[in-house]
Amino acid sequence: MLTGGPSSNGGVNRGRFLTPDVVVVGAGVVGLAIAWRCAARGLRVSVHDPAPGSGASHVAAGMLAPVAEAYFGERELTGLLTESASRWPGFAAELAEATGVDIGYRTEGTLVVGLTADDLTEARRLWAYQLGLGLPVTPLRPSQLREREPALAPRVRGGALAATDHQVDPRRLVAALRIAAELAGAVLVTEPVRRLRDVPAGVTVVAAGCGAAALTGLPVRPVKGQVLRLRTPDGRPPGFRHVVRGYADGEHVYLVPRDSGEVVVGATVEERSDLVVCAGAVLRLLRAAVDLVPELAEYDLVETLAGLRPGTPDNAPILGPLPGRPDVLVATGHHRHGIVLTPVTADLIAGLVTGDGADSLLASFRPDRFTAASGAGPPASGGVASVPAVGSGARTTSEQAMEDDSWN
Amino acid sequence: MLTGGPSSNGGVNRGRFLTPDVVVVGAGVVGLAIAWRCAARGLRVSVHDPAPGSGASHVAAGMLAPVAEAYFGERELTGLLTESASRWPGFAAELAEATGVDIGYRTEGTLVVGLTADDLTEARRLWAYQLGLGLPVTPLRPSQLREREPALAPRVRGGALAATDHQVDPRRLVAALRIAAELAGAVLVTEPVRRLRDVPAGVTVVAAGCGAAALTGLPVRPVKGQVLRLRTPDGRPPGFRHVVRGYADGEHVYLVPRDSGEVVVGATVEERSDLVVCAGAVLRLLRAAVDLVPELAEYDLVETLAGLRPGTPDNAPILGPLPGRPDVLVATGHHRHGIVLTPVTADLIAGLVTGDGADSLLASFRPDRFTAASGAGPPASGGVASVPAVGSGARTTSEQAMEDDSWN
C-alpha cells in the first residue's frame, strides 16, 4: 500500500511509480527526519515501515538533555548530543513552519535533584564531571530549587539547573515529521523491508532501530525501557514546569511535564527484549516519582508501556556507510538519545546521501568502528572487514559501560 | 436487541415475544443468578443490561470471605455472609453441572497476615472479635505461616488461617451464570431500563448495583475500588495458593492467586464515583503487595482498573420489596460482598418472586429499614413511608461505619 504525498515539486508526481533515489527503512523520528531532509533536497524518497512511529519514538519521553545525559566515558557522544541540541531550536522552528504542528518544544530547562544525602552525593559527582567538560550545569541552593519548583518534595536535599536541557513531545514530533516528509514529496510505504537486497533504490538508509541488527548484522541490541504516563485529574498543566530528573533513594527517574496535563515518568534500562510491563518496575517508577513530586500521587495513571531502545556496544549511535556496502547508510543505535539526536542525524545522513562528503562529526560513529579488534583504540576508519555479529567480543567493554547507565 | 436462550422447557419458545413474568434489571452476578433461579422455577424471565457483566462483577476479586470480612458492628451482615458462604459449595457444583464452565472455585482458604508489629496488633484485635463470634479463624505461628506459604516475605510478623474463606473467578462466574440463565430459558436484553414504569412485567427485580439509586430512590451510593491484575511471567500458577489478605505498614491489601497465573491485587475503598485509575492508589497497592509477597515484583502488570461498588448506609445489602411497590424487588447494596452473597441473594429473591413467603434471613436487609427515623434502633419492618434520598440523615451513621472499612 502506498501513501503518496502531494506533488510539491514542480507538479511532477514523483515517487509513486518511479524507483526512488532513497529508500529509508523505518519511520520513527530518525527515519522520518532523514526522509524529510532528503526529499527537501529534491530526491525521490520512500519510507518503509509497517507501523510508522510505533517503535521507540512512541515510548520516548522527549528530553533533549545533552548536559544531564553527559556520562563518564562518553565524551564523543556528549559532543554529538550537544551539537544536535544546539540545532534543535532551528529544527523545531523549521518543522513548525513547514507543518503548523505544535510539537510541544519547551525550553524551561531541567532540574536535576537528589532526594537523600546519598543521592545528592551521587548527583554532585556527575555535576563535577559535567562542569569539567564546560557544560552549563548550575548547582542550586535548596531555597533556589524550591523557588523554581515549589512542587518538589520538602525532603529533596538539593539540585542543579541544566538550563539548556529542553524537551519535546515525541508523538507530536512523529506526526509533524511525517507531514513534513510527505509535504516535501516523500512517500510512506506501510510494508516491512525484510532484506536489504529487496530494496530497489540508489541508496538505502537503515533507520530501523533495533531492526537494524537483522538487516545489517551490526551489533545493535534491544534495551528495554518501561515508562508511565500520568495526567492531571483536571486536564490542566502539571504543577511543575521544568523537566525533573532525580535520584530518589538510589532510583533514577525523570518527570517530563507537558502543557496537556501529561507527565511522562521514566524509565527503566533493562537488558531484555520483551515488551512486558512489570509490577516491580511500575512500583519503583511511581515510588521515585511521588517521592520527588508528591502531588503526582493524585494524578491519573493513563498509560504503562514498554519499548526497546537500539543499544550499541559503546552506547553511541551508528551513523554512516555499512562496511562493504557504500550504497547502504546506517542511522541507528541512538539508545536513550534518539529524540535529541534527530536533527544532527538527519543532517549528517542527508549530507552523505547527496555526496556532500563525510562530516568530521561522523568520525566517531561510523559503522566500521566495530570491526576493529579491540574497542579500546581510536575508531577504525575505512575498514570493510566482516561485521561482527551481536554478542561478539566487542560487547565486553560495552557491558562495562552500560553498568554506569543501568539502574534497574 | 434480544438474545434468546435455547427453549429448554418443553420446547416452548418462551420469553421472546411474551410479556415476561419477571424482568431483572442488571446482568451482573446478582442479577444473572436471580434470573437463573427464577427461570429454573419455570418463570418467564428477561434480564436487561446494555453491557452484561461489565459493572462491579468485572472488577471484583472474588473472595468468598465471611470470616476475614467480619467487621466490628456488622453482626447481621456477618450472619448473611456466613450463610451465603455455606451455600457456595452446592451453588458452584450446581453451576458447573448446568454449564460445564470452570468458575475457578478454590478452597485453599485465606491467610490473614500482618507485616509489622503494629499491623499484627491491628489484625489480632479483629481476630479476637471474629473468634468471639465463633468464626473459624486460627492464629498461626510464623513458622506455620511460612510452611503454608513460603512466598511470604520474611518480614511478615504473623498471621492466621481463615480456612473456610474461599475464592472464585468473578469473570468466569458471570460467563457461567449467563449460560445457566439462558439454558434455563431466561432472555438477555441488551438494552437499559431507565424507569421502572417502562418495565412490562409482573415482578421487576432491581439488581442494577449503583444504578439502583436512580431507579428506586434507595440510598445506594458508589464506593470506588481500584484493583490491579498481575500475571506470572511464564503463565504458570502463582507461587502461592492461599488468598493472602494483609496489613502492610497500615495498608490493607489482598492477593488472590488463580491457576491461570493471574493474581488480583486490591483494593481501594473510596467515596468517589469516577472510574479513574490513580497513580497513588497503584503505588500503594503495589507496594503493599510486594511487601507481603516479594516475588510479585517480577510479575507482569496486565490490568489497572477501577469499579464502583453499590454501598449502603449500614454497609449491608438491600434485599426485598421496594416500599409501596410490592411488585418491585430490590437486590443491591452488596458493597464489597457481591460475589459471596450471590447464592443467598438469588435464593431469597427467587423465593419472594414465587411467593414462598419472606425468609427470616431477609429481616435485617429489607429496603424499608432506611425509612426509620434513626439508624440506631432495630431494623424497621413493613414501613412504606417515603424513601429517603441519597444524602439523607441516615447516612451519618453510615459514614461512621465506613471509617473502619476505608483505608484509602
In three state form, how does the secondary structure of B44-75 look?
CEEEECCCCCCCHHHHCCCEECCCCCCCCCCH
Closest CA–CA distance from residue B24 to any residue of chain A (Å): 35
Give the best residue of B264, B270, B299, B301 to mutate against chain A (max A CB count within 10 A): B301
pLDDT number for residue A198:
86
Kindly report the backbone phi and psi dihedral angles of residue A157, in degrees, each rounded to the nearest multiple of 5, phi listed first.
-85, -25
Closest CA–CA distance from residue A277 to any residue of chain B (Å): 6
Question: B75-99 and B342-353 helices cross at what angle (nearest 10)?
Answer: 90
Which residue of chain B comes nearest to A290, CA vs CA?
B280
Q: Is the pLDDT of residue B385 over 50?
A: no
Residues in chain A closer than 8 A to B278 (CB atoms): 297-301
pLDDT number for residue B245:
97
Q: Is the pLDDT of residue B51 over 70?
A: yes
User: What is the DSSP secondary structure assignment for residue A237, as one 8-state letter?
Assistant: P
- Residue A37's Cβ-count burial label (10 Å; 0-12, 13-18, 19+) is buried
Q: What residues 244-273 of chain A have any CB closer than 8 A to a CB of chain B?
A: none
Mean of pLDDT values over B228-242: 97
- The three-class DSSP label of residue A157 is coil
Query: Three cell numbers at A57?
Result: 519514538
CA B295 to chain centre: 28
- The CA distance from A38 to A181, in Å, is 9
Contact A297 B282 (CB under 8 A): no
- Our CA dihedral for A154, A157, A161, A165, rounded to 10 degrees, sits at -80
pLDDT number for residue A109:
97
- Please give the single-letter amino acid code of residue B218: L
pLDDT number for residue B5:
37
Residue B372: pLDDT band (50, 70, 90) is: low
Of B14-18, B40-44, B254-258, the poorest mean pLDDT is in: B14-18
Give the best residue of B251, B275, B286 to mutate against chain A (max A CB count within 10 A): B286
pLDDT number for residue A83:
97
Q: Does B283 touch chain A (CB under 8 A)?
A: yes
B252 closest CA partner among B265, B263, B243: B265
Cα first-last separation, chain A: 41
CB-closest option in B278, B279, B297 to A279: B297
Mean of pLDDT values over B19-38: 97
Residue B386: pLDDT band (50, 70, 90) is: very low
Q: Does A297 touch chain B (CB under 8 A)?
A: yes
pLDDT number for residue A356:
82
- Residue B295's Cβ-count burial label (10 Å; 0-12, 13-18, 19+) is middle
Residue B23: pLDDT band (50, 70, 90) is: very high
CA B110 to chain centre: 17
Mean of pLDDT values over B258-272: 97
> Which residues, 6 or more positions from A248, have their beta carbon under 8 angstroms from its beta carbon?
A115, A116, A119, A287, A288, A291, A292
- Please give the single-letter amino acid code of residue A326: P
Q: Does A51 touch chain B (CB under 8 A)?
A: no
Q: Does B93 touch chain A (CB under 8 A)?
A: no
Residues in chain B closer than 8 A to A301 (CB atoms): 277-279, 282, 304
Q: Is the pLDDT of residue B399 over 70?
A: no
Residues, chain A:
408
Residues in chain A closer than 8 A to B270 (CB atoms): none
Give the H or E element holding residue B214. helix B212-216
- The CA distance from A34 to A22, in Å, is 10
Asked whether the ipTM of the predicted complex exceeds the cut of 0.90, the reply is no
For residues B402 and B309, the answer to whether their CB atoms sit within 8 Å is no
User: CA neighbours within 13 Å on the CB side: how many for B357?
Assistant: 1
Query: Three cell numbers at B51?
Result: 453491557
Give the H or E element holding residue A58. helix A56-59
Q: Sign (positive/negative) of CA torsion B300, B306, B310, B316? A: positive
Contact B301 A289 (CB under 8 A): no
Q: How far is CA A246 from CA A224, B60, B148, B282, in A?
A: 20, 37, 41, 21
Q: Does A278 touch chain B (CB under 8 A)?
A: yes
Tens digits of pLDDT across chain A (408 residues): 223 333 334 334 444 557 899 999 999 999 999 999 999 999 999 999 999 999 999 999 999 999 999 999 999 999 999 999 999 999 999 999 999 999 999 999 999 999 999 999 999 999 999 999 999 999 999 999 999 999 999 999 999 999 999 999 999 999 999 999 999 999 999 999 999 998 887 999 999 999 999 999 999 999 999 999 999 999 999 999 999 999 999 999 999 999 999 999 999 999 999 999 999 999 999 999 999 999 999 999 999 999 999 999 999 999 999 999 999 999 999 999 999 999 999 999 999 999 887 789 999 999 999 986 444 333 333 333 333 332 333 333 333 333 333 322
- The CA distance from A161 to A65, in Å, is 12
Q: How far is CA B198 from CA A28, B88, B193, B195, in A?
A: 55, 35, 7, 6
| Chain segment B154-177, per-residue pLDDT in tens | 999 999 999 999 999 999 999 999
